[in-house]
Amino acid sequence: MPFVTVKIARGHSIEKKRRLVEVITNALVSVLDTKPEWITIHIDEFERENWAVNGILHSDRHRGKHDETGR
């Protein structure tokens, strides 16, 4: 029974999350030769202010760029 945790920044639409879990599920079914009903996927969302690259918070680096649709 595969259990996958995906960590993404908060703000992606429900449609994108649906597509994400569909693609991951299909990949696991194909690669692991398992049944889709045995696959569990957990989406762990974090705030952009809690993520930094090269010493700069993502929320500062991309201020105003991201809206609630994750763009």
CATH number at residue 57: 3.30.429.10
pLDDT at 5: 98
**Residue 28 belongs to domain spanning:** 3-61
Q: Would you say residue 21 lies in a domain? A: yes
The H or E element containing residue 37 is: none
CB burial string 2-11: b at 16+ within 10 A, e below: eeeeeeebee
Give the C-alpha separation, 24 to 39, whole Å.
9
Please check whether residue 44 is in contact with residue 6, taking contact to mean a CB–CB distance below 8 angstroms.
Answer: yes
pLDDT at 10: 92
Which residues are catalytic, by number? 2
**Residues facing residue 3 across a β-bridge:** 40
Give the C-alpha separation, 55 to 66, whole Å.
19
Question: What are the pLDDT tens digits along the chain (71 aa)?
Answer: 999 999 999 999 999 999 999 999 999 999 999 999 999 999 999 998 998 999 999 888 877 665 554 44
Q: Would you say residue 69 lies in a domain? A: no
Q: Would you say residue 68 lies in a domain? A: no
pLDDT at 65: 65
Q: Please give the model's pTM, rounded to 2 decimal places.
A: 0.77
pLDDT at 45: 97
